[in-house]
Amino acid sequence: MKTLAIETSCDETSVAVLGNRGEVLANLVSSQVAVHAPYLGVVPELAARHHVEVLPRLVAALGKQGLLADLGLVAVTQGPGLIGSLLVGTCYASAFAYARGLPLSAVDHLEGHLVSPFMNLEGLPAEEIPEGTLTLVVSGGHSSYFLFSQGKGVPLNRTRDDAAGEVFDKVAAALGLGYPGGPVVDRLAEAGDPSAFRFSPPRIKDPQGELDFSFSGLKSAVIRQAQELGVTPLPDPQNPPLVALDLLASFRATVVEWLLQPLDVLCERHRPPVVAVAGGVAANRLLRQELKRWGERARIPVRIPPLALTTDNAAMIGRAGQLRGAAGLFADPLGLEPYPRVSWKGTGERGTGKRVFPPLTSP
Ligand code: KG4
Ligand code: ZN
């Protein structure tokens, strides 16, 4: 029995079909980058309209490939994300599941990112997530370490302000490098000197949040420096001066250094058997390279998802949906409500201030 998965939480429309052990049989992603690029960020109403247009076409494409036969489950992102975008996916998935009499699995977008390092695009079964795995989820909306404990993902820190991907996007926008900023900053940074500029780390006084991230001060400092250099925007973005490349390289190196900083302490405390990274920023070349190096030094295996599974995709939602289904958690297709913000719903830990996922035990 196969799983049809649908992801429409932000600006990518994605559908996937998985074998019942998490084998990715198809993973189609339709990017809206060109639609939002002129606005230097995602315009929610435009995103929702594009999902309405594109989603049925992508599902029809799966049907043409004969992939919609023998379905046993429909999985969809319930939240967090843009409410209009989520509504398109949840309504479509609910109607599809109801019409075909299939069980429906409502997935948290972060659960999807968390399972992605244990998936592959070679059509092989997904791996089980080892107990105690430590995963950095780092994207346009999130920057947190999670620990897998007794089948649950428990957050260990968070960002006090901007997410790392958001900062890549805002710095790139200030320099006139378009949207999304992460990939272009990453590429240009390769040609710069990462030690050319130094930025002071944030001071977080709250002892409870000693391992928390904070990126907004760095964002302001980089943009201020860029203004002083007269590169906001770059006169010729195709041909940036060396000093701008140095600034971007130093910025990227600082983000990566800060993201990896809590690792030693977290590993000492939790002794994870595996360390993983997930989310759009996990596509960053320097982050991938530095995490691998860290793993070699610490002698801890490191799991990094294939590039296509770092940014938003339905395959990861399908796998998280299967794990939820195996734990007996299903949604009502006649009453599925999306949620825009990070949710404590259904966790049994409401009010503790801690976000804990429902069990993600393997079948
Ligand atoms: O996971 P994702 O597709 O969507 C969210 O859930 O937010 O992540 C998108 C984010 C964007 O901020 C984008 O700029 C960033 O991931 N990103 C990168 C790279 N590729 C994408 N950031 C740094 N380096 C990259 N190579
Ligand atoms: Zn995401």
**Who contacts 49 (Cβ-Cβ below 8 Å, separation ≥6)?**
none
pLDDT of residue 309: 98
Q: Are residues 117 and 179 in the same domain?
A: no
Is the pLDDT reported for residue 171 higher than 70?
Answer: yes
In the reported structure, the alpha carbon of residue 281 is separated from the centroid of ligand 1 by a whole-number distance in angstroms of 4
In the reported structure, the alpha carbon of residue 201 is separated from the centroid of ligand 2 by a whole-number distance in angstroms of 26
**Average pLDDT of the segment spanning 181-186:** 97
Asked whether residue 361 is domain-assigned, the answer is: no
Is the pLDDT reported for residue 203 higher than 80?
Answer: yes
Ligand 1 atom nearest the C-alpha of 181 is 14
pLDDT of residue 56: 98
d(CA 158, CA 146): 10
Is the pLDDT reported for residue 37 higher than 70?
Answer: yes
Q: Are residues 181 and 299 in the same domain?
A: yes
Ligand 1 atom nearest the C-alpha of 163 is 12
Asked whether residue 292 is domain-assigned, the answer is: yes
- Percent of the chain beyond pLDDT 70? 94
pLDDT of residue 170: 96
Question: What's the domain range around 167?
Answer: 134-307
**Who contacts 253 (Cβ-Cβ below 8 Å, separation ≥6)?**
189, 194, 195, 286
The number of domains in the chain is 2
Average pLDDT, the chain: 92
Q: Are residues 165 and 276 in the same domain?
A: yes
Q: Are residues 241 and 211 in the same domain?
A: yes
> Given pLDDT bands bounded at 50, 70 and 90, which one contains residue 204?
confident
In the reported structure, the alpha carbon of residue 41 is separated from the centroid of ligand 2 by a whole-number distance in angstroms of 15
> Which residues sit with Cβ closer than 5 angstroms to ligand 2, an ion?
139, 312
Whose alpha carbon is nearest atom 3 of ligand 1? 311
Q: Are residues 73 and 101 in the same domain?
A: yes
Which tens digits make up the pLDDT trace of 146-162?
999 877 788 899 999 99
Which tens digits make up the pLDDT trace of 285-324?
999 999 999 999 999 999 999 999 999 999 999 999 999 9
Ligand 1 atom nearest the C-alpha of 283 is 26
Q: Are residues 151 and 284 in the same domain?
A: yes
Q: Are residues 123 and 178 in the same domain?
A: no
Q: Are residues 171 and 58 in the same domain?
A: no
> Given pLDDT bands bounded at 50, 70 and 90, which one contains residue 357?
low
Global confidence as pTM:
0.93
Which tens digits make up the pLDDT trace of 322-351?
999 998 999 999 999 998 887 543 333 333
Pocket of ligand 1 (CB under 6 A): 10, 139-141, 165-166, 168-169, 180-183, 186, 279-281, 283-284, 311-312
Which tens digits make up the pLDDT trace of 59-91?
999 999 999 999 999 999 999 999 999 999 999
Q: Are residues 145 and 241 in the same domain?
A: yes
Structure tokens of 339? 């949620």
Is the pLDDT reported for residue 355 higher than 60?
Answer: no
Asked whether residue 363 is domain-assigned, the answer is: no
Whose alpha carbon is nearest atom 22 of ligand 1? 182
d(CA 41, CA 50): 15
Q: Are residues 89 and 140 in the same domain?
A: no
pLDDT of residue 331: 95
76 forms beta bridges with: 6, 106
Is the pLDDT reported for residue 186 higher than 90?
Answer: yes
213 forms beta bridges with: 159
Ligand (nearest to CA of 185): 1
Q: Are residues 86 and 171 in the same domain?
A: no
Q: What is the CATH number of the domain that holds 113?
A: 3.30.420.40
d(CA 40, CA 135): 29
- Identify the H or E element spanning 55: helix 44-64
Confirm if 142 and 155 have CB atoms less than 8 A apart.
no
Asked whether residue 190 is domain-assigned, the answer is: yes
In the reported structure, the alpha carbon of residue 262 is separated from the centroid of ligand 2 by a whole-number distance in angstroms of 22
Q: Are residues 77 and 107 in the same domain?
A: yes
d(CA 30, CA 319): 19
Is the pLDDT reported for residue 8 higher than 60?
Answer: yes
pLDDT of residue 358: 53
> Given pLDDT bands bounded at 50, 70 and 90, which one contains residue 360?
low
In the reported structure, the alpha carbon of residue 138 is separated from the centroid of ligand 1 by a whole-number distance in angstroms of 8
In the reported structure, the alpha carbon of residue 116 is separated from the centroid of ligand 1 by a whole-number distance in angstroms of 15
